[in-house]
Amino acid sequence: MNQWPDWLPLRDDLKSLSPYGAPQIVDVVQLNTNENPFSLPEVVQQEIVSRIQEVAGNLNRYPDRDAVRLRAKLAEYVNLQSGTEFDVENMWAANGSNEILQTLFLACGGAGRKALGFTPSYSVHPLIAKITGTSWIAGAREDDFRIDVEIAVEQILAERPSLIFVTTPNNPSGTSTPLVDISKLAQASANIGALLVVDEAYAEFSTEASASLLIEKFPHVVSSRTMSKAFAFAGVRVGYLVAHPSVIDAVLVTRLPYHLSSLTQAAAEVAIDHASVMQSGIDELLSERDLLVKGLERLGWNALESSANFLLFSGFKGTSANIWKEFLDRGILIRDVGLEGYLRVTVGTAPENHRFLAAAQEIAQ
């Protein structure tokens, strides 16, 4: 635990925390943060550079505070994917979807309020709850990491949180929650006046329909998305929210002025203009994921059925911490997500996955 100096007026409830983050180690095969392993197509790189050059002449000015052009493009992208009819006022954009989540907590969480999420799931949800003084309620998942909707609804009605989180596909399990189930959770959330935040960071890897389809019927349902994964754009930091215009108005109240730089907006606009080429690696990642599953099974290990670009696997002999270290000793960085008996691996390029499986084979012997 950090030893904080007496002179620092840090909040008591934050004193036990340390900064969040997976290890960033160079010169290893990095399969620990669910990044997309493919770099940006050359044509997109070139266009970003020339757009940035145009924008550079105006960097003495603040960016478009409301990122209108970017939001319009994001709406077009979501509409194309989901057959919806969203517009600028249904979209918000920020520095990664983590910032989207934080803005939602600032708007609807806080002291005296509760947030409920079905764990194990994305650990940043309870972390932001803590930072914003929101009480966190850990809802249950089944042994196979699926959400039992009947139990979930009961818990929602009993706890009456202001914010409810469903991550689908779920991190770290990779499992997805069908839209019919999300719809039942939406009804329960409506009954208690809660915002249902569906964290769809990995949506493009899944065949399940997006929760954004529910927004018309349930205005308190929001979909949190990111360009970090399928778009292979993690370094730029762009996440976005799809929501009813009143929710967008609410997050506009809690966002910082000029939060999204002109450089970020320009680069993201180019990326969305090239959405299909930016996402051309998805099919390859999905077939690589299948090969990884088979490779793990050959060792007598097993992976949960995943709808995302990562796998949660088990069946190894030894503790998660020890096996994680065994991989690292072989130059492979994966993620120990704190679930004993499980480890998470991000799907990499074919050579990276080969190296991972070769290391796994050695470890399994």
Ligand X SMILES: Cc1ncc(COP(=O)(O)O)c(C=O)c1O
Q: How far is CA 288 from the centre of its chain?
A: 21
Give the single-character DSSP code of 290.
H
Out of 234, 263, 291, 364, which residue is the one contacting ligand X (CB under 6 A)? 234
Which of these ranges, 67-75, 129-137, 226-234, 248-256, lies near ligand X under the rule CB under 6 A? 226-234
- Considering the complex, state which of residue 126 and residue 295 has its C-beta at the smaller distance from ligand X: 126
Say how many residues touch ligand X, by CB under 6 A: 13
117 counts as binding ligand X under rule CB under 6 A: no
Out of 239, 281, 295, 348, which residue is the one contacting ligand X (CB under 6 A)? 239
- Considering the complex, state which of residue 161 and residue 174 has its C-beta at the smaller distance from ligand X: 174
Q: Is 257 exposed, middle or buried (0-12, 13-18, 19+ CB in 10 A)?
A: exposed
- Considering the complex, state which of residue 221 and residue 363 has its C-beta at the smaller distance from ligand X: 221
Out of 47, 199, 269, 288, which residue is the one contacting ligand X (CB under 6 A)? 199
DSSP codes joined into one string, 310-341? EEEEE--SS-HHHHHHHHHHTTEE-B--S-TT
304: closest CA among 341, 257, 278? 341
Which of these ranges, 43-51, 92-100, 127-135, 317-325, lies near ligand X under the rule CB under 6 A? 92-100
- Considering the complex, state which of residue 97 and residue 176 has its C-beta at the smaller distance from ligand X: 97
In our burial notation (b when 16+ CB lie closer than 10 A, e otherwise), range 129-142 reads: bbbbebbbbebebe
The verdict on whether omega for the bond into residue 245 sits within 30 degrees of 0, i.e. cis, is: no
| Residues 6+ away with beta carbon under 8 Å from 58 | 262
- Considering the complex, state which of residue 107 and residue 363 has its C-beta at the smaller distance from ligand X: 107
Give the single-character DSSP code of 6.
T
- Considering the complex, state which of residue 22 and residue 179 has its C-beta at the smaller distance from ligand X: 22
Between CA 274 and CA 82 the distance in angstroms is 18
HSE of 116, CA atoms in CB hemisphere, 13 A: 22
Out of 30, 32, 167, 173, which residue is the one contacting ligand X (CB under 6 A)? 167
Task: Considering only the C-alpha atoms of the chain, give the largest distance between any 2 of them, rounded to a whole number of Å.
Answer: 60
Q: Report the 10 Å Cβ neighbour count for 118.
A: 27
Give least dist CB 194 to ligand X, A. Answer: 19
Token pair listed for 18:
């340390």
Which of these ranges, 90-98, 126-134, 210-218, 287-295, lies near ligand X under the rule CB under 6 A? 90-98
206 counts as binding ligand X under rule CB under 6 A: no
204 counts as binding ligand X under rule CB under 6 A: no
Give least dist CB 60 to ligand X, A. Answer: 28
Residue type (1 letter), 241: L
171 counts as binding ligand X under rule CB under 6 A: yes
N-to-C CA span, the chain: 37
Is residue 222 within 8 A of residue 197, CB to CB? The reply is yes
Q: Is 225 exposed, middle or buried (0-12, 13-18, 19+ CB in 10 A)?
A: buried
Give least dist CB 184 to ligand X, A. Answer: 21
228 counts as binding ligand X under rule CB under 6 A: yes
Between CA 274 and CA 44 the distance in angstroms is 7
Give least dist CB 97 to ligand X, A. Answer: 3
Give least dist CB 96 to ligand X, A. Answer: 3
- Considering the complex, state which of residue 100 and residue 363 has its C-beta at the smaller distance from ligand X: 100
Between CA 256 and CA 272 the distance in angstroms is 24
3-state secondary structure of 164: strand
Contacting ligand X within 7-36 (CB under 6 A): 34
- Considering the complex, state which of residue 167 and residue 320 has its C-beta at the smaller distance from ligand X: 167
Out of 122, 145, 165, 301, which residue is the one contacting ligand X (CB under 6 A)? 122
Which of these ranges, 16-24, 38-46, 95-103, 296-304, lies near ligand X under the rule CB under 6 A? 95-103
Binding stretches for ligand X (CB under 6 A) = 34, 96-98, 122, 167, 171, 199, 201, 226, 228, 234, 239
